[in-house]
Amino acid sequence: MKKYTDTGKKDTRSGFGAGLTELGKKNENIVALCADLTGSLKMDEFKANHPDRFFQVGIAEANMMGIAAGMTIGGKIPFTGTFANFSTGRVYDQIRQSIAYSHKNVKICASHAGLTLGEDGATHQILEDIGLMKMLPGMTVINTCDFNQTKAATIAIAEHHGPVYLRFGRPKVANFTPEDQVFEIGKAVQLQEGNDVTIVATGHLVWEALEAANSLHEQGISADVINIHTIKPLDKEAILNSVAKTGCIVTAEEHNYHGGLGESVARVLGENTPTPQEFVATQDTFGESGTPAQLMEKYGLNAKAIHKAAKKVMGRK
C-alpha cells in the first residue's frame, strides 16, 4: 500500500486563495468578484495585490453572476467567490441563462460546501450543489480534496475555456496530495491499488477513503481508491477499469445521494457494467449545527462509514 502523509492540516479555501494569488500575478485577465465574504474566501491577498481587478459586489450574488458573465465580453476571466449555497441555489437562473447557456468563461468558486461548514447549520450547509451544477449543460464540476489540490485546480481552471464550478470547504483537513501536482480536469487520481473493492471519493471524503483503505487492509481487504476531483466530466475509464478488477464500488461524497457523484457513477456503471454500489452520502436530508467531526459522524460521512459500506458492498458481489 502506498503511504500518504498529512503535511499539516489546512483548509481547502486557503488553497483557493493561494491559487488565485498566483494566477493574479501571472495573468492580467484574471478578475475576482466577491459578495461580502472576502476573508472567508481567502481572497484578501488577490485584493491587496490587484485592487483594480477585485470587485466587491456586496450582498448581491445574483448581480455578481451577471456582472461576471458580462466581464467575459472583452476577454476577462472572472472568478466569483462566495459560499457554495449562495454560489448555486441562490443564483441558479442567473448561472443557467447568463453563464452556462451563454457559454461564458466564468469560474464559480464556492467555499463552505457541505456539512463541514459546521455550526452555522443547515441554512448554509448546501448538500445539493453538485447536482444543481452538474445538470447544467457545458458546466465543469470540480470538488477538491485538500489544500494543494485546490490550489492546483484553481490555477488549472483558468486555462480551461468555459464555465466551471469549483467546490471546496471551510475546515482544516489533511493536506496530502503533492504540492507540485499537475491538475488535469476530468482525470481521476489513483491513490491505492486493490482488488477487493473500489472506493471512489471526492472532496473531504478522499482522505477518509484512504483511512478506510488502511483499516480494510488490516482486515486483509485490498481497496482500490480513486480520487475523483472532477465530477463532470467524469473519468469513466478509471471507474470501469477499477470495477473490472474489484466487481463492487463505494462512492463517497459530502453531498446528498440524490444528484451527487454516486448517481453519476451509477449511470456509468448501469450503461456499461452493472455493479453493486453503496452510497456514502447524506440520505436526502438537510444538515444541522454541530462541529464538522460530529456532523460527519452523525450523517455517516467518514472513514468508519466508508469501511462499513465497503464490507457491505463486497457481500453483494
In the chain, count of helices (H) and strands (E)? 12, 14
**Three-state SS sequence of 62-84:** HHHHHHHHHHCCCCCEEEEEEEH
- Between CA 131 and CA 299 the distance in angstroms is 19
Question: Which residue in 71, 226, 306, 313 binds another protein (CB under 8 A)?
Answer: 71
- Between CA 221 and CA 292 the distance in angstroms is 29
- Between CA 282 and CA 128 the distance in angstroms is 10
Is the distance from CB of 60 to CB of 35 less than 8 angstroms?
A: yes
Q: Which three cell numbers stand for residue 172?
A: 482544516
Q: Which helix (H) or strand (E) segment is 124 a member of?
A: none
Q: Is 66 in the site for another protein (CB under 8 A)?
A: yes
Q: Among the candidate windows 57-65, 176-184, 189-197, 257-265, which touches another protein by CB under 8 A?
A: 57-65
Residue closer to another protein by CB (options 66, 260) is 66
Binding string, residues 85-124; x marks residues near another protein by CB under 8 A: --------xx-xxx--xxxx--------------------
Q: Is 51 in the site for another protein (CB under 8 A)?
A: no
Q: Which three cell numbers stand for residue 21?
A: 494569488
Q: Is 55 in the site for another protein (CB under 8 A)?
A: yes
User: Smallest distance from the beta carbon of 75 to another protein, in angstroms?
Assistant: 6
Q: Is 52 in the site for another protein (CB under 8 A)?
A: yes
- Between CA 256 and CA 283 the distance in angstroms is 6
User: Smallest distance from the beta carbon of 96 to another protein, in angstroms?
Assistant: 8
Beta bridge partners of 66: none
Q: Which three cell numbers stand for residue 207?
A: 482522505
Q: Is 128 a catalytic residue?
A: no
Q: Among the candidate windows 5-13, 41-49, 74-82, 172-180, which touches another protein by CB under 8 A?
A: 74-82
Is the distance from CB of 70 to CB of 27 less than 8 angstroms?
A: no
- Between CA 6 and CA 14 the distance in angstroms is 16
Listed in sequence order, the residues at least 6 apart from 270 whose beta carbon sits closer than 8 Å to its beta carbon are none
**Active-site entry in 28, 45, 61, 184:** 61
- Between CA 65 and CA 103 the distance in angstroms is 13
Q: Is 68 in the site for another protein (CB under 8 A)?
A: yes
Spell out the alpha helix ranges (H) of 202-302: 205-218, 236-246, 261-272, 292-298
Q: Is 58 in the site for another protein (CB under 8 A)?
A: yes
Question: Which residue in 31, 191, 281, 310 binds another protein (CB under 8 A)?
Answer: 31
Question: Which residue in 74, 182, 218, 315 binds another protein (CB under 8 A)?
Answer: 74
User: Smallest distance from the beta carbon of 29 to another protein, in angstroms?
Assistant: 9
User: Smallest distance from the beta carbon of 179 to another protein, in angstroms?
Assistant: 32
Residue closer to another protein by CB (options 65, 200) is 65
Question: Which residue in 6, 48, 49, 73 binds another protein (CB under 8 A)?
Answer: 73
How many residues in the shown chain lie near another protein by CB under 8 A? Answer: 31
Residue closer to another protein by CB (options 65, 305) is 65
- Between CA 143 and CA 166 the distance in angstroms is 6
Residue closer to another protein by CB (options 136, 152) is 136
Question: Which residue in 78, 81, 131, 260 binds another protein (CB under 8 A)?
Answer: 78
- Between CA 262 and CA 285 the distance in angstroms is 16
Catalytic residues: 61
The footprint of another protein (CB under 8 A) covers 31, 52-53, 55, 57-58, 60, 62-63, 65-76, 78, 93-94, 96-98, 101-104
